[in-house]
Amino acid sequence: MAMNRRTFLLGASGAAFAQKGLQPLDGGKIGNLPAMKITGIQTFLVGAGGRNWIYVKILTDQGIHGVGEAYSAGPDEGVVKVIEDFGLWLKGQDPRNVQYLMDLMVNTTRFPGGIVTNSAISGIEHALWDIAGKAAGVPVWALTGGRVRNKIRVYQSTSGAENARMMVEKYGYTALKMGIIAPGDMPNNRAMRESAAHVRAVREAVGPDVDIAVDIHTKFVEVERAARLAQLLEPYNIMWLEEPIRPENFAAMKKLSDRVRVPLASGESNYMRHEFRPLIDSQALDFVQPDICCCGGLWEMKKIAAMAEAQLIRVAPHNPMSPLATVVNAHFAASTPNFHILEYHAPDNGAWKDVLKEPLMVKKDGYIDIPNKPGLGVELNEEAFRHMPPGPWKRGTNFRADGSVYFQ
């Protein structure tokens, strides 16, 4: 057994639920499909070069299994342990009762979850949908509303002008994303000027028709600084300004929205529909960006998207994780009317190429295909994991010239 795989087999049906004071939902056949019970859970902590990827595999008594991905939050062993604990709660349940099992995990946790708990829940939820689709013999998108499009538009992050030109030529991307010059490393006026010049160089490299998203990555706290940069970037017709300020203060985001004329996007650091509701209702954003690996999963993201649709806001999922997360997002995008574009990383080298047996490859027009096999339609390449040991990981920290920390 690979060192980075944990197999957590669950005991006799009902024992763990009795310990938790819970009762399994009545099981049985669904139409012509036989009864099914969860019997075990496996976790894979995989080193991807610079960070880890966390995979979930749920086993059943019918020989059907499902896979999912949890967000790599930093304390990755903590996410694994939470997944294993939830496994005790899920033992003996029919995995096709996705909403019920979500309610079980969320409500019995008692307090609203943060990044670790919600990442664990999200990865498990993906695997439940995978099982449900396989059992029914249909793709997951067929269970979540059916297809509303034939293919999925994607974009990739670029490091600068030359790289941007290469990616447009190689992959046919019609959109790219880029960061800004770190404002904590230099005086504010210089940071603003160099950030604007950085965006201008990319715009000149790719021409007027390629969409460019600019990610501040919460490096600003003050509304004034974000508004000032937005004004400087306005001539370059950006697709959106992403995470322009910290995500906790929705009133401040609305204040910024009222002051600028470029589209705003945020949401990767927010969880569950209850946290997205006031952000969406404020009409502060033009795009919401929930992350399917930590916002609560596929079905929760569908609910967030429905709230956004009612407010005429589009959804552009945050997706920095592995090719498996891209597949889960593809099922969301296939069945969601107000989906706009998906963050993507071409799986053509290293860990990106190896973790799935058949990853979704970008076409020459900057789109990916919609999976058509039952369930999520892909399988983990577990053999490759033997050569991908995990390592400790945390985000880097940036400091100002005076030694104080600035947010990122």
The residue among 186 and 18 whose pLDDT is bigger is 186
For residue 38, the one-letter residue type is I
Question: Which among 65, 126, 198, 217 is annotated as catalytic?
Answer: 217
The answer on pLDDT for 373 being more than 80 is yes
* Distances in whole angstroms, Cα of residue 246 to Cα of each of 25, 36, 116, 251, 268: 41, 44, 19, 11, 11
Tell me what pLDDT residue 19 has: 47
What stretch(es) of the chain map to CATH 3.30.390.10? 5-138
Tokens describing residue 217: 């990555």
Check residue 14 and give its pLDDT: 46
pLDDT for res 9:
47
> For the CA atoms of 199, 202, 208, 214, what is the dihedral angle to 10 degrees?
-40
> Averaged over 242-253, what is the pLDDT?
93
Q: At residue 290, does pLDDT exceed 80?
A: yes
The reported pLDDT for the residue numbered 3 is 45
pLDDT tens for residues 181-231?
866 667 889 989 999 999 999 999 999 999 999 999 888 878 999 999 999
Question: Where in the chain is CATH 3.20.20.120?
Answer: 142-399
Does 318 qualify as catalytic in the annotation?
yes
In this predicted structure, the answer to whether residue 8 has a pLDDT above a threshold of 90 is no
- Percentage with pLDDT > 90 across the chain: 79
The 10 Å Cβ neighbour count of residue 338 is 18
Tell me: pLDDT of 24 over 70: no
pLDDT in tens, 337-356: 999 999 999 999 999 999 99
3-state SS record for 360-401 = CCCCCCCEEECCCCCECCCCECHHHHCCCCCCCCCCCCEECC
Active site residue 217: yes
pLDDT surpassing 60 at residue 242: yes
Q: Which helix (H) or strand (E) holds 52?
A: strand 52-60
Contact 218, 247 (CB under 8 A): yes
Q: What is the CATH number of domain 5-138?
A: 3.30.390.10
Choose, from 65, 318, 331, 340, the residue flagged as catalytic. Answer: 318
Reported confidence tier of residue 378, pLDDT bands at 50, 70, 90: very high
Residue 146 has pLDDT above 60, yes or no: yes
- Distance (Å) of CA 302 to CA 30, 33, 95, 152, 370: 24, 26, 19, 16, 17
d(CA 119, CA 80): 10
C-alpha torsion angle, residues 244, 264, 154, 364 (rounded to 10): -100
Mean pLDDT score, 161-176: 97
Residue 111 has pLDDT above 80, yes or no: yes
For residue 5, what pLDDT band results from cuts at 50, 70 and 90? low
Q: Which of helix, strand or coil describes residue 242?
A: strand
Q: DSSP characters for 255-299? A: HHHHH-SS-EEE-TT--HHHHHHHHHHTT--SEE--BTTTSS-HH
What kind of fold does domain 142-399 have according to CATH? TIM Barrel (3.20.20)
pLDDT per residue as tens digits for the range 69-97:
999 988 899 999 999 999 998 999 999 99
Q: How far apart are CA 244 and CA 160, in angstroms?
A: 20
